[in-house]
């Protein structure tokens, strides 16, 4: 460093020239080095999970530049850290939606999660997201808190999606996921869906969503201006966007009986995910970076986060 400094100082230069040289020197070191981890799901045309791929079967691209895979793991027995983000707004109390959700979550933690899986519970209503139960393998404690939870207030869905993935990313296990159960009715957020998504996709936490069917006659929408994202179609599109961008999946209930099957599907997918890591070197800036993962076997469907 001292030698370089002396060499640069030996040639006479104006103040402006020295400033320009300093900018060029700084630019040479303005490189963002980021360790990126992504969860990858691979299925065939029939929807069956593909579990026999190796590291050589994957190619990872960031902004269309191929990246070298530095970490690879697949193990169906790997424990997960699951964060449940539960809508406890007043609209969930209608038509027994909240009661059904609690019963389904009881089934999830007692029948689908293993002893090494940890689970946490976040609840949201009236513009607040509360950590009702922190990460723990103690399922009884989770259920005790869940049983005491009641529905109330309005729905700040976008705000909840914005802040929850960062919490979910603190789980101790390599596989982490966020499970959002909601009727999708949005009436209290400060942020837009795009703003929420921009924040949520900064961490590698896939968002899985179970959304109740949104009746256009729902009482909580009466008297409000029907913005596009407050219609049934708009709500579905927003929830789909959250899940697809983060590498998760959205399920929309036609009948309450589908709830348990959706939970089994989500737990099954988490068991079959590949974990892939690579190092990103980008010159300066904080721009959005697209991620694309492919396999040489073109018949397979590969799903992961769209970027960060």
Which is nearest to 253 in space by CA: 92, 129, 135, 128?
Answer: 92
Give the C-alpha separation, 203 to 107, whole Å: 28
Global pTM reads: 0.82
Decide if pLDDT at 2 tops 50: no
pLDDT at residue 91 in the model = 86
Which is nearest to 105 in space by CA: 88, 84, 122?
Answer: 84
CB 256 within 8 A of CB 102: no
* Token pair in block for residue 259: 């709830």
CB 279 within 8 A of CB 35: yes
Give the 3-state secondary structure of residue 236.
helix
Decide if pLDDT at 228 tops 50: no
* Token pair in block for residue 104: 């389904």
Decide if pLDDT at 224 tops 50: no
Give the C-alpha separation, 74 to 83, whole Å: 21
pLDDT (tens digit, 9 = 90+) per residue, 126-181? Answer: 888 999 999 999 999 999 999 999 998 888 899 999 999 999 999 999 999 999 99
Neighbours of 193 (CB within 10 A): 21
What is the percentage of the chain residues whose pLDDT exceeds 90?
61
pLDDT at residue 124 in the model = 93
* 225 compared with 136, residue with greater pLDDT: 136
Neighbours of 116 (CB within 10 A): 11
pLDDT (tens digit, 9 = 90+) per residue, 173-218? Answer: 999 999 999 987 777 788 888 999 988 888 889 999 999 876 544 4
pLDDT at residue 133 in the model = 97
pLDDT at residue 234 in the model = 67
Cα dist from 97 to 118, 193, 282, whole Å: 25, 23, 46
Residue 243 phi/psi, 5-degree rounding, is -70, -45
């Amino acid at each position: 460093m001292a030698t370089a400094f002396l060499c640069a100082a030996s040639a006479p230069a104006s103040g402006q020239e020295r400033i320009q040289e300093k900018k060029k020197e700084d630019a040479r070191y303005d490189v963002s080095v980021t360790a990126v981890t992504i969860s990858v799901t691979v299925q065939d045309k029939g929807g069956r999970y593909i579990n026999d791929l190796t590291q050589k079967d994957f190619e990872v691209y960031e902004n269309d530049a191929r990246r070298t895979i530095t970490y690879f793991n697949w193990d169906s027995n790997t424990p997960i850290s699951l964060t449940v983000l539960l809508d406890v707004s007043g609209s969930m109390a209608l038509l027994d939606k909240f009661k059904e959700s609690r019963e389904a979550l009881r089934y999830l933690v007692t029948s689908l999660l293993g002893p090494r899986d940890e689970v946490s519970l976040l609840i949201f209503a009236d513009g607040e997201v509360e950590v009702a139960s922190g990460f723990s393998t103690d399922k009884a404690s989770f259920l005790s808190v869940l049983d005491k939870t009641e529905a109330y207030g309005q729905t700040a869905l976008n705000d909840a999606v914005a802040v929850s993935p960062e919490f979910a990313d603190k789980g101790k296990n390599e596989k982490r996921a966020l499970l959002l159960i909601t009727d999708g009715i949005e009436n209290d957020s400060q942020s837009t869906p795009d703003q929420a998504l921009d924040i949520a996709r900064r961490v590698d936490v896939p968002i899985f969503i179970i959304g109740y069917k949104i009746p256009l006659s729902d009482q909580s929408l009466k008297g409000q201006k029907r913005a596009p994202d407050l219609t049934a179609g708009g709500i579905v599109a927003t929830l789909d966007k959250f899940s697809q961008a983060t590498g998760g999946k959205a399920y929309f209930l036609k009948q309450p009986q589908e709830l348990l099957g959706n939970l089994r599907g989500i737990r099954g997918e988490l068991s079959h995910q590949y974990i892939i890591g690579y190092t990103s070197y980008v010159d300066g800036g904080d721009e959005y970076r697209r991620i694309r993962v492919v396999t040489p076997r073109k018949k397979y469907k590969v799903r992961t986060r769209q970027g960060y």
